[in-house]
Structure 1
Amino acid sequence: MPQVSFNVLFNKLLETAPSITTQKVYSLLEEAYTRRVNDLPASIKLAEEALGISKELDDKACMGKSLSHLSLFHMIIGDFDLSINMAKEAIEIFEEIDDEKGIADAKYTIAGALYKTDDYNLGLAYLIDCLTTYNKLEDHHNKARVEKSMGTIYEFFGDVESAIKAYKSAIESGKEANDLNLQSNAFNPLSGIYLNKGKIADAMDLIEQSIRFKKEKNDVRGLAFALYGRGKVFTITKEFEKAEADFLEAEKIHLEMGEKLGLAMCYHKRGALYIKMDRLQEAEEILVKALEYSNKHRIVLIKFKANLLLHEIAKKQGDFELALKYLQQYINEKESVINDRTAKVIESYDVINKMHRLEQDARIQKEKADLIEKKKLELDSFFYRISHDLKGPITSLMSLNYVAKLEVKDETAIRFIDDYEKQANRLNTILDGLLRLTKMSFNEDSKQEIDFEKIIYDCIASYKFLANYEKVEFKIDVDQSIKFEAEWALINTIFQNLIENGIKYARIEDNEPFIALTVKQQGDEIIIDSTDNGIGMDQETVDKIFTMFFRVNRKIEGTGLGLHILKRATERLNGNVQVNSKIGEGTTFRITLPK
């Protein structure tokens, strides 16, 4: 047998050592992933060990996979900020080494952290990216995970049919991967949908099957979610003691596993159960706990649900002020997450294939809107500069006119000077209007509490110089209990223009002219109504009155800017204005402002 030198053996050992150590990293990560279902602290410890070895080796692939696994485990236990940071670090590494699957795995974790807190829309975008990659790679295991998560988001948005399709697709992908855990993960929420549809037997069959699978695979964390699902069924069938036992057992597991979302869900459902059992004190205690816990960990889904149930309890206890507080919090929390734009996007499961095109269209529309807004600001800036620059010369001309009237005695000359004064005053009024209009785009006045009654009477007094003023009756009705904060100048502008138009267009000859101004609150809105019995308008005129420089009646003095300014001021306050008018009968303006 030939002799092999020590150096040759040593060099061969050096050549094989890295691959052996790399294999250890993969073994550690595989074990960590397997143990995530029943021992997350051990999973984290194993992944940290793998990361340490990877850094010693300076192996990019191993570092990326270790970080990706760690981010997943921290996402599961609710350390969302840490999870996202680790996932982003992993993505940078995977992009450097061109690991497409690694990028998708890390994005899946980010999506989980986002949709479990308060950003469903961005979470969905990440999931769609992941699904595209997993479909391409025919990775059924990860495809099942993504589809189940997408079902959760669809369900949250109220798109139940798309949620069912996503859950069923996740089950099929789980079967392709030959993984009972993946299948049963989708059984749990699907059972809940069947329960909401009144299919109680189907819901129970599915959740019992999930419990069997979880026990068979020793998925302790998944078992807690399955027990929670069965507790919901028992609540509906009024087997309250069984429901309570399931919720408490699920809570115990979630506490041991560090599963924050699952624990918050159990708190919420146990509160709902106690309301049904008329144990209101216990219900309030556990729901306040759910609310505090959800606030701490940014679990918006449970925050607004807990507020709704606390609202119900407060009503039952006769504390209507507290009930209103919880109801308002519920509305605010829900609206902060579910907005019209997102709800419209989530129309069907086919959105996955259309999303990129929709996003591209949205970008184009946004670019157009930005361009229009830029041009509008440029136009406002132009008006502002011109109006401001002309203001000085016009003031000088008006002053010269005043001096001329003092010096000139000739009647014909005085008549010409009067005509000149009228035109100078008209030009000055137009400039004032343009300056008010453009200041809305550039000024950010601080908000203050609005005294509607004072503003109205001050505006009325400021128009004593108008010809019809003395003949018009003003009817004022302001709800004194209204508390409203806004930019004073904008509210003042609205009433100035309403009152000025009502006086100018009053019918004096065959009428007892009036302007009725009312301010009231309806729900979360302030309603301002201005009704007069003036000359009125036809519908064609109504459609044009907010156009800049449009004048209803050329015989009546005006600049055609007043109503345009009124509309801009209303829009600046995020409100809207409606007009109803009939020729010879009068006009009503209704302005609605959100509180």
Structure 2
Amino acid sequence: MKIAPNSKRSNILSLLDDAYQSRINNLKNSIALAEKAFEISKEISDKECIAKCLSQLSLFHMIIGDFDLSMNMAKEAIENFEELKDEKGIADAKYTIAGALYKTNDFHKGLTYLIDCLATYKKLKDYHNQARVQKSMGTIYEYFGDVKSAMQNYEEAIDSGEKAGDLNLKSNAYNPLSGIYLNQGNIAKAMEVIEESIKLKKETGDTRGLAFALYGRGKIYTKTKQFAEAENDFHNSIKIHEDMGEKLGWAMSHHKLGALYIQMDRLGNAKETLIKALEYSNKNKIILIKFKANFLLHKIAKKENDFELALKYLTQYVEEKESVINDRTAKVIEGYDVISKMQALELDAKAQKEKAEIIEKKKIELDSFFYRISHDLKGPITSMMSLNYIAKIEIKDEAALKFFNEFENQANRLNNILDGLLNLTKMSFNTEATQEIDFKKIIEDCIASYKFLSHYELVEFKIDVDQKIRYKVEWALVNTIIQNLIENGIKYARTENNKPYIFISVKQTSSSIEIKAEDNGIGMDEKTVENIFVMFFRANRKIEGTGLGLHILRRAIERLDGDVRVESEFGKGSTFSITLPK
């Protein structure tokens, strides 16, 4: 029976989940399961599944030390994830590349990838992967010799592991922490931490992780001269690494076992073990173990009075160490350059965020103040206007009426200011449902609503609206923009020896709506243009207004994440160009 594509997709994801879970105790099985999932993914041409399979395979091959194959697979996975816009997928593949880079001594590039990964995982609140990255960053800090930062990252990894509810993530960080305590001479703390790691590894069945924990305890036993216990731990560690196909761990355990045999004065065993480590490291490009093994072989040759062989190993050790240390020093400098840039960016981003939050808070407070004051004053002003209307009916004295008319003008002006402030604050507090915008109808309705203004009958209105526009937002915001453009054009029309016009066009591009309002009115000089969006600014005191219209227009445009540009020349007219993103 043929399996439907959806069933096949479920099968792929199930295989990948099993592969990831079994990586802790059976890497060969993990690779086999991921390869099976990969074949099915290619059969059904599912790009997302192909990318996930490549990402997991690259991780497993990185773990066993097949770094070139791992890097190629990870890069191919990233290409697919980028096309799918899968942030987590990209971060997962970058984590694998980082592992391959720093394990082959390229700390600087590895750190760069890890920083990218950590930013994504923090954004997604993915504590599982945060712990993995923080543990790896701790390892790189150790390479730099920055023990304080290494410990901080290991402790952060433990904290993230607890948040993720994963005991393995915690114990993964315990292993290197124990090594730091050992180097500091705190034997008791080192043993306490490594025993906790071994306990957790056995509880969770993390066989591969157990090998690294046994290696860590073997180092402590070596330090305390408990040689039999140390040898047993190193042998068990090597056996697990061999079964799992873990190249780096195998080489590390052989190097420490060789050092142990030298302390025990078993030079034959030491030589055999270290030659294995050296050959294996040469084959798999494990640079740090190469020069360390050469140094120990030099010590053995000296003890055996084979000075020619001792010189050979010493020369190789010096050449390789010099190369590694010089390269390492350069990468440490580059790495700290990356760290300092990252920290500077984080501090700058934090400062900018705090500043934006303060500004936004003040804006809300100001809007709230305006809204309350405008709302509270609206009632008394309306009552005063009503009383004025009644008084004018009763009063016949012309001198008295003159004062009442002036009172009416000032009351109307104050009422208009209050209306403007209320409209302004409503934009901050009201959220209307979005709807399809009919620009032509809004423009025509706004033009009709201003028939009462002076010069209206003299102005020629020209409209050009792209009828294919599809734009869905809050209707009130678009109406506010169009209304203020038209009102402004009418109020500031130039009528002497001139045929005034207002030309409004609305066009659609692939990414935005472009609104343009052009007139041949009185225009503005450069200084005036700089201030027209300032609240209560009035360019011409002879023309009635509140100084709020263009400020409200700009606020409406900002609410729609848009932009406005103004071109004007005194005595010739103005053009307002507005861009609203779709």
TM value normalised by structure 1:
0.55
Q: What is the distance in 1 between the residues matched to 2:321 and 2:98?
A: 20
Q: What is the distance in 2 between the residues matched to 1:324 and 1:194?
A: 35
Cα gap change, 1:256 to 1:352, in 2 (>3 Å): farther
- Which deviations, in whole Å up to 9, do the C-alpha atoms of 1:440-491 show, x marking residues without a partner? xxxxxxxxxxxxxxxxxxxxxxxxxxxxxxxxxxxxxxxxxxxxxxxxxxxx
Answering whether residue 326 of structure 2 is matched by residue 334 of structure 1, we say no
Task: Tell me which residue corresponds to 2:211.
Answer: 224
Out of 266, 271, 282, which is 1:295 matched to?
A: 282
Answering whether residue 140 of structure 2 is matched by residue 156 of structure 1, we say no
Pick which of 320-329 and 22-31 moved more: 320-329
Task: Tell me which residue corresponds to 2:128.
Answer: 141
- Which deviations, in whole Å up to 9, do the C-alpha atoms of 1:81-136 show, x marking residues without a partner? 11111111101101111111111111111111122223222222221221121122
3-state SS, counterpart of residue 205 of structure 2? coil
Task: Tell me which residue corresponds to 2:300.
Answer: 313
Out of 200, 209, 221, which is 1:234 matched to?
A: 221
Task: Tell me which residue corresponds to 2:512.
Answer: none
Task: Report the CA distance between 1:21 and its aligned residue.
Answer: 2.3
Answering whether residue 177 of structure 2 is matched by residue 177 of structure 1, we say no
Out of 24, 38, 47, which is 1:37 matched to?
A: 24
Answering whether residue 245 of structure 2 is matched by residue 258 of structure 1, we say yes
Give runs of ≥4 in structure 1 deviating > 6 Å.
none
Task: Report the CA distance between 1:292 and its aligned residue.
Answer: 0.6
- Could you tell me whether the CA contact under 8 Å between 2:97 and 2:113 is conserved in 1? yes
- Which deviations, in whole Å up to 9, do the C-alpha atoms of 1:403-437 show, x marking residues without a partner? xxxxxxxxxxxxxxxxxxxxxxxxxxxxxxxxxxx
Q: Which runs of 5 or more structure 2 residues have no equivalent in the other structure?
A: 347-582
Answering whether residue 202 of structure 2 is matched by residue 215 of structure 1, we say yes
Answering whether residue 181 of structure 2 is matched by residue 198 of structure 1, we say no
3-state SS, counterpart of residue 36 of structure 1? helix
Q: What is the distance in 2 between the residues matched to 1:296 and 1:186?
A: 29
Task: Report the CA distance between 1:156 and its aligned residue.
Answer: 2.0
3-state SS, counterpart of residue 198 of structure 1? coil
**What amino acid is aligned across from residue 261 of structure 2 in structure 1?**
Y
Task: Tell me which residue corresponds to 2:104.
Answer: 117
**What amino acid is aligned across from residue 103 of structure 2 in structure 1?**
K
- Which deviations, in whole Å up to 9, do the C-alpha atoms of 1:194-251 show, x marking residues without a partner? 0111000101011110001000000111111111111111111111000000100111
- Could you tell me whether the CA contact under 8 Å between 1:345 and 1:351 is conserved in 2? no
- Could you tell me whether the CA contact under 8 Å between 1:157 and 1:338 is conserved in 2? no
Out of 324, 343, 351, which is 2:332 matched to?
A: 343
- Could you tell me whether the CA contact under 8 Å between 1:159 and 1:347 is conserved in 2? no
Task: Tell me which residue corresponds to 2:496.
Answer: none
- Which deviations, in whole Å up to 9, do the C-alpha atoms of 1:180-204 show, x marking residues without a partner? 0001001111101101110001010
- Could you tell me whether the CA contact under 8 Å between 1:119 and 1:337 is conserved in 2? no
Q: Following superposition of structure 1 onto structure 2, how do residues 6-155 of structure 1 map, counting pairs within 5 Å?
A: 17-155=4-142
Task: Report the CA distance between 1:172 and its aligned residue.
Answer: 1.0
Q: What is the distance in 1 between the residues matched to 2:64 and 2:279?
A: 17
Task: Report the CA distance between 1:349 and its aligned residue.
Answer: 10
Give identity over the alignment, percent.
65
Task: Report the CA distance between 1:55 and its aligned residue.
Answer: 1.3
Cα gap change, 1:237 to 1:259, in 2 (>3 Å): same
Task: Tell me which residue corresponds to 1:446.
Answer: none
Task: Report the CA distance between 1:326 and its aligned residue.
Answer: 2.5
Cα gap change, 1:349 to 1:86, in 2 (>3 Å): closer
Q: What is the distance in 1 between the residues matched to 2:345 and 2:301?
A: 46
- Which deviations, in whole Å up to 9, do the C-alpha atoms of 1:22-61 show, x marking residues without a partner? 2221111111100011111111111111111211221111
Q: Which runs of 5 or more structure 1 residues have no equivalent in the other structure?
A: 1-12, 358-595
Q: What is the distance in 2 between the residues matched to 1:254 and 1:22?
A: 33
Q: Following superposition of structure 1 onto structure 2, how do residues 382-397 of structure 1 map, counting pairs within 5 Å?
A: none
Task: Report the CA distance between 1:334 and its aligned residue.
Answer: 3.1
Task: Report the CA distance between 1:169 and its aligned residue.
Answer: 1.3
Q: What is the distance in 2 between the residues matched to 1:355 and 1:308?
A: 41
Q: What is the distance in 1 between the residues matched to 2:29 and 2:114?
A: 27
Cα gap change, 1:276 to 1:74, in 2 (>3 Å): same
Task: Report the CA distance between 1:311 and its aligned residue.
Answer: 2.3
- Could you tell me whether the CA contact under 8 Å between 2:38 and 2:50 is conserved in 1? yes
Cα gap change, 1:36 to 1:352, in 2 (>3 Å): farther
Task: Report the CA distance between 1:348 and its aligned residue.
Answer: 10
Q: What is the distance in 1 between the residues matched to 2:296 and 2:112?
A: 31
Cα gap change, 1:347 to 1:162, in 2 (>3 Å): farther
Task: Tell me which residue corresponds to 1:268.
Answer: 255
Task: Report the CA distance between 1:291 and its aligned residue.
Answer: 0.6
Q: What is the distance in 1 between the residues matched to 2:337 and 2:146?
A: 8
Q: What is the distance in 2 between the residues matched to 1:76 and 1:182?
A: 16
- Could you tell me whether the CA contact under 8 Å between 1:159 and 1:346 is conserved in 2? no
Q: What is the distance in 2 between the residues matched to 1:336 and 1:30?
A: 42
Q: Following superposition of structure 1 onto structure 2, how do residues 448-463 of structure 1 map, counting pairs within 5 Å?
A: none
Task: Report the CA distance between 1:297 and its aligned residue.
Answer: 0.3
Superposed CA RMSD? 2.3
3-state SS, counterpart of residue 138 of structure 1? coil
Task: Report the CA distance between 1:19 and its aligned residue.
Answer: 2.9
3-state SS, counterpart of residue 272 of structure 1? helix
**What amino acid is aligned across from residue 177 of structure 1 in structure 2?**
A
TM value normalised by structure 2:
0.57
Q: What is the distance in 1 between the residues matched to 2:183 and 2:27?
A: 32
Q: What is the distance in 1 between the residues matched to 2:235 and 2:252?
A: 12
